[in-house]
Structure 1
Amino acid sequence: MKVVILAGGKGTRISEESRLRPKPMVEIGGKPILWHIMRQYAAYGFYEFIICCGYKGHMIKEYFVNYYQNNSQLEISLKNQCVQVLRGNSEPWKVTMVDTGLETLTAGRILKIRNYIGDEPFFLTYGDGVSDVDINKLLAFHKQQGKTVTISTTQPEGRFGALRLDETGQEVLGFKEKARTDQAWVNIGFMVMESSVFSYLGDGNTMLEAAPFEQLAADGQMAAYKHMGFWSPMDNIHDREYLEKLWNSGNAPWKV
């Protein structure tokens, strides 16, 4: 199965980084978050990737074009203009990078890679979040449910404490740490889709998470795989620093 990664957005909420490079190329532990995501799928034996490029997509292309040399030990003779690879280090990945437009919405990006998918089911995820989702269990769940789309869902860790107020709302009676079970369920990506999903995308001029998902849910064609392990998006610079700290600690939950 192929893994489709949405990597074309402008990443305006992390502009400190995205003004220089596309958000999926922002680094965690010296590697783009895109690489971390791909490594997770590869750990489960899925090596074919389709990357939906957009904003500064040339930087994603350059990264993979130069991947082998940049991750190998080289000997260079400047006089003879000769490069010799002393020890190569690469991944067994097949990476297809498709220009899906600068302003294209997510449904449209998926439509533009339809010819690379064919009639097979595929994985879909966002290029800006990491998790320790068990990909094999996710796929098995999708097959068992028999729906067009399965999304991975979780209840995020509570980031803010909640106040307990009196009936007037003017007096604080106490504080409560916002537990994970108090959170709403959210879509964390790591989705599985049948090729029939393309019939829900219309002309592509909408966000995937809007009309297409709403219609899939209304038709009873969307399943939710509950994940109670680790997940973190990289929406802003504080998220990046949090992920970097986890990686440097040696205890990054998504590390494989």
Structure 2
Amino acid sequence: MERIKSVLIKKESLIKEALKQLNENTLQILLVIDDSSKLIGTITDGDIRRAILNNVSFDEPVSKIMNKSPKFVYIGEEEKAKELMIKHKVKTIPVLDKEKRVIDLILMENLLETRYEYPEKSNYVFIMAGGKGTRLDPFTKILPKPLIPIGDTPIIEVIIKNFKKYGFNNFLISVNYKAEIIKLYFLENPNGYNIDFIHEKDFLGTAGSLKLAEEKLKETFIVSNCDVIIDIDFDELLKYHRKNNNQATVVGVVKNMQIPYGVIDVNNGELVNMIEKPEYNFVINAGVYVLEPELINLIPQDKAINMPDLLLKSKEFGYKVGVYPVSSRWFDVGQWEEYKNTLEYFKKVDGI
């Protein structure tokens, strides 16, 4: 019953409240109910994304952006859930009573044989794994950052597995610091990943090593930092990039942040306003990008360049740089506090 309560939201609740609730539950869906507790809609990451792209204020009610044709089954019809999940690519199906009140949830993860099969893709995923990971000292004095474990699985393999679920299995991994240890880990490769390594002689920033793979990157490719874990549909990301004719697409995560102090608005030494512990919503860089090969021409040979600089340079040269906003769970595992939060989250979700 607690699990159901965690995903229910009233139709008059604000979008910014829905954002917080989505981030706090692990199912990545909210069920919108009316005053009689009847299901009238759903809110998912896609609804939040469309709201951002259409400049909808987060102070609007969720009823303005919800999906008004939610997928559900009535009690006694639970066998239909599997077909709905596969047809509509949804992971959670609510079970309703005759009054359309939610009484249970059917999860795809509990139907072991149920899984949407994504088509295999030839596109490369380029993982930046050459950094020293100094924010995780002293851990990274022994292990390279990509091999720091989430349960029994190194961060970099968690990332690779996420991509493989959506049909990506061609990986380029740029290495430098403790490169041989990373290569040794993938030597046996029982999961059959197609991996090639790109060796940086010098540290080239978060985009410079793309130049070293120029001969391989001949079609649209995805770049990921090796210390970010994000739960998104990478198949949809690639479609979005192509549909919008972008030369680059940045994945942006919507974050709600509260200032833990009273904020004073001052003008000419006089108090204008005072807000106690205000909350703000930001779209932050997730460290995942979709790029077209022509952008590699803007990268200098054997010189360090970071991805934000490459993207801004691309805009200067007239290339279209888009943003793919998501409200999904996102972890920057490259810092201690977030690493601990990541472990706690995966313990809840996977029981690691």
TM over 0.5: yes
1:238, 1:176 → 2: CA distance? 22
> Which structure would you say has the larger RCO, counting Cα contacts within 8 Å and 6 or more residues apart?
1
Q: Does the aligned pair in 2 maintain the 1:9–1:102 contact within 8 Å?
A: no
1:166, 1:159 → 2: CA distance? 16
1:105, 1:191 → 2: CA distance? 15
Q: Where does 1:14-163 land on structure 2 (aligned, <5 Å)?
A: 14-67=136-189, 90-117=190-217, 119-158=218-257, 160-163=259-262
Q: Does the aligned pair in 2 maintain the 1:55–1:102 contact within 8 Å?
A: no
Q: Does the aligned pair in 2 maintain the 1:126–1:189 contact within 8 Å?
A: yes
User: In the comparison of the two structures, how many residue pairs are matched?
Assistant: 226
The gaps in structure 2 that reach 5 residues or longer are: 1-122
2:156, 2:270 → 1: CA distance? 45
Q: Does the aligned pair in 2 maintain the 1:122–1:194 contact within 8 Å?
A: yes
Q: Does the aligned pair in 1 maintain the 2:259–2:277 contact within 8 Å?
A: no
Q: Secondary structure at the match of 1:120?
A: coil
Q: CA deviation at 1:30?
A: 1.9
- Identity across aligned pairs (percent)? 21
| Counterpart residue type for residue 103 of structure 1 | F
Q: Which residue of 1 aligns with 2:349?
A: 250
Q: Secondary structure at the match of 1:136?
A: helix
Q: Which residue of 1 aligns with 2:126?
A: 4
Q: Does the aligned pair in 1 maintain the 2:147–2:182 contact within 8 Å?
A: yes
Two-structure CA RMSD over aligned residues (Å): 2.4
Q: Deviations over 1:144-203 (max 9, x none)?
A: 111211111123342652423364699x96632534x2x3x2221221111111111122
Q: Which residue of 1 aligns with 2:48?
A: none
Query: CA separation of 1:18/1:156 partners in 2, compared to 1, >3 Å: closer, same or farther?
Result: farther
Worse overlay, 141-150 or 213-222: 213-222
| Counterpart residue type for residue 227 of structure 2 | D
Q: Where does 1:226-241 land on structure 2 (aligned, <5 Å)?
A: 226-241=325-340
Query: CA separation of 1:210/1:45 partners in 2, compared to 1, >3 Å: closer, same or farther?
Result: closer
| Counterpart residue type for residue 154 of structure 1 | V
Q: CA deviation at 1:210?
A: 4.4
2:160, 2:235 → 1: CA distance? 15
Higher Rg: 2
Q: Does the aligned pair in 2 maintain the 1:26–1:33 contact within 8 Å?
A: yes
Query: CA separation of 1:141/1:57 partners in 2, compared to 1, >3 Å: closer, same or farther?
Result: same
